[in-house]
Structure 1
Amino acid sequence: MKQPSLRIGILNLMHDKVDIQERFSKVLQNGPYEVEVDFFYPRSHYTGRPVPDLVQQISQPLDFRKVTEYNAFIITGAPVEQLPFAEITYLEEVHRLIDRLVEQEIPQLYICWGAMAAADYLYGIPKRLLPEKIFGVFPNFRRDPDPLLAGLPDGFLAPHARYAELDIARVAADPRLVINAVTESQRLFSFRACGQKQYFLFSHLEYGRDALLKEYRRERNAHPDIQYLKPQNYFRDPLHMKGPEFSWEHTQRTFFDNWLRSVAEQMTVNQLVKE
């Protein structure tokens, strides 16, 4: 049986845009489905200044009229989790996109900062700064069965890299939400909205082998006077920061294959309803 062809839209809010787009293209297009991926940038992020040539070459301005053309949409993380939402220039545009996705019942995958922004907007759960950045590869444990985690063992490995988190007690107490998995230290891996096509992922599962090392070097080079935390449980030789291991590769492949399968199933349901 021929697998359906899927169209996925991605609002790319990360700074390393080329790397991010290569990573998402790889994890989505090397799976079990034929997938077309389009990347967008928020117009309001460049208010009063020109859009960089590179950004224009690899992505397109967010167009709310085109949102209905996609079978699912991803809003990525962003390196702004330490800033209050009120200081984010493109937040209103993100909110408008979320409204459009919900209105059109398009499956949504929110990742890291994208998950924090969506949970704050949709469910009133604010983010808060962590005592220190959660940074490295950690085992994650199920709290509730979830089809996107099917095929993964309890204690599955995943990369985490963020300075902020939602209040897990607030998430657990909200009857509209179900926590799927957490780390041993009770940091969120993911939760979903009951009866909604919304999934909130706090791990950067799109990251490839060298992504955590690149993130560490980028932060250190930007602020050499600050002693940054090194990624944990990541190097074969932690002392010299050599030999980064891609220990979450199975988690990555399994999760994104499961997510694409859920998108394809929803597309099939939508087609049957139209008929």
Structure 2
Amino acid sequence: MPIKIPDRLPAFDTLVQEGVRVMTETAAVRQDIRPLQIGLLNLMPNKIKTELQMARLVGATPLQVELSLVRIGGHKAKNTSEDHLLSFYETWEEVKDRKFDGFIITGAPIETLPFEEVTYWDEMQKILDWTQTNVHSTMNVCWGAMAAIYHFHGVPKYELKEKAFGVYRHRNLAPSSVYLNGFSDDFQVPVSRWTEVRRTDIEKVSELAILMESDEMGVCLVQEEAGKRLYMFNHVEYDSTSLADEYFRDVNAGVPIKMPHDYFPHNDPELTPQNRWRSHAHLLFGNWINEIYQTTPYELEKIGAVRV
């Protein structure tokens, strides 16, 4: 089954061109099945690009998925038009009475700020608490993962001396995990962050299990079974050119930045990067969607037992 998104969303045509099956809102109502309700809390500055990246992965499933775009109500976006936000997004206040089978919380370019100094931290805490009662399973990504694991378990983040930036080899630490079904023992994941969480802190929390790790970049993916949460600290959803876009943005702005590790062919930024993580990105999100489908209540209103 295809993903259901608003007919006029900019990502619609691109997804169709890429072969992702997309269903119009008009066609969806004719199918006598309940689509999975997936929410995307988009905290990234370039919201349109992030919508496409996440919709591409969520839509690559035989199940029908309805994607709802959500934003922080008390924060004004600087890089996305107000028309786009009003046309396609709802604030969390507007959706907080709904139930979701799955909910994705993205990264945000505020990594080095203490959580308590983030202008929307109070609302973020309310949203994280709300996921315990209104969401069956949550995928937290990059800063979103660091915020969630700090909120729920007090796991701190540490500022790095230089940006962790590039494509790095990772190890599959839990081949039997439902989320890593089909994963290689060794695979590559894009990394782009100024902070990290550490294995020693995660190991103090008995509810957490590390699923992916890099010898160079540390912990990548953590599972919390009781809370039905995944914490992805890197950017498996990135496009082929995402790291290049960040690199050239900083170069053109005169910001000191090292060339992304193992990314450009022959370390030549004039050459087009090859995507070596796409298949595992699809596997991870496909496995997550499948696990949601297998375990979520058929009746949405039954989602919501408080998890500790």
What is the TM-score of this pair, normalised by structure 1?
0.89
Task: List gaps (5 residues or longer) in structure 2.
Answer: 2-31, 304-308
Matched with 1:262 is 291
Choose from 275, 278, 286 the match for 1:249.
278
Aligned residues: 269
Please give the per-residue CA displacement for 1:71-91, whole angstroms capped at 9, x wherever unaligned: 111100001101111221111
The match for 1:199 is 230
Amino acid at match of 2:285: F
The one of 257, 263, 269 equivalent to 1:240 is: 269
Residue 240 of structure 1: CA displacement?
3.2
TM-score (norm 2): 0.80
Residue 11 of structure 1: how far off its partner (Å): 0.5
Contact 1:110 1:201 in 2 (8 A): yes
Give the partner amino acid of 2:72. P
The 5 Å alignment of 1:63-212 reads 63=93, 65-66=95-96, 68-104=98-134, 106-145=136-175, 146-185=177-216, 187-212=218-243
Identity %: 28
Shift of 1:246: 0.7
**One of 40, 43, 46 as aligned partner of 1:13:** 43
8 Å contact from structure 2 (residues 241, 273) kept in 1: yes
How much does 1:177 deviate? 0.8
Q: Judging changes above 3 Å, is the alpha-carbon distance between structure 1 residues 68 and 58 closer, same or farther for their aligned structure 2 residues?
A: closer
Q: C-alpha distance in 2, partners of 1:88/1:194?
A: 28
Q: Deviations over 1:155-203 (max 9, x none)?
A: 1111111110112211022112111110122511111114221110112
Note if 1:61 corresponds to 2:91.
Answer: yes
**In structure 1, C-alpha distance between the alignment counterparts of 2:218 and 2:143, rounded to whole Å:** 14
Structure 1 CA distance, aligned partners of 2:187 and 2:154?
A: 29
Q: Is the 8 A contact 1:32 1:257 kept in 2?
A: no
Deviations 1:26-72 (A, max 9, x none): 1111322211111111011139xxx8333323322122654533211
Out of 31, 38, 62, which is 1:32 matched to? 62
**In 1, are the aligned partners of 2:99 and 2:134 still within 8 Å (CA)?**
no
SS of residue matched to 2:44 = coil
What is the aligned counterpart of 2:260 among 208, 213, 231? 231
- Cα RMSD (Å): 2.5
- Deviation string 1:119-149 (CA, Å, 9 cap, x unpaired) is 1110011111122211111111123342111
Return closer, same or farther for 1:215/1:228 CA change in 2, 3 Å cut-off. Answer: same
Distance (whole Å) between structure 2 residues aligned to residue 59 and residue 119 of structure 1: 26
Distance apart, 1:213 and its partner CA: 1.1
Question: For residues 231-256 of structure 1, what are the alpha-carbon distances to aligned partners after superposition, in whole Å with 9 as ceiling and x for unaligned?
Answer: 11112242234211111011111111
Q: The residue matched to 1:180 in structure 2 has which SS?
A: strand
C-alpha change, 1:270 and 1:151, in structure 2 (3 Å) is farther
Flag the 1:240–1:76 CA change in 2: closer, same or farther, 3 A. closer
Q: Distance in 2 between matches of 1:126 and 1:11?
A: 22
Contact kept, 8 Å, 2:145 with 2:233, in 1: the verdict is yes
Distance between the aligned counterparts of 1:66 and 1:258, measured in 2? 26
Taking a change above 3 Å as real, the CA distance of residues 67 and 215 of structure 1, as seen in their structure-2 partners, is farther
What residue identity is the alignment partner of 2:143?
A: W
2:149 aligned partner, one-letter code: A
Amino acid at match of 1:179: I
Stretch moving more, 29-38 or 157-166: 29-38
Instruction: Give the deviation of 1:105 after TM superposition.
Output: 5.0
Contact 1:67 1:101 (C-alpha < 8 Å) held by counterparts: no
SS at match of 2:296: helix
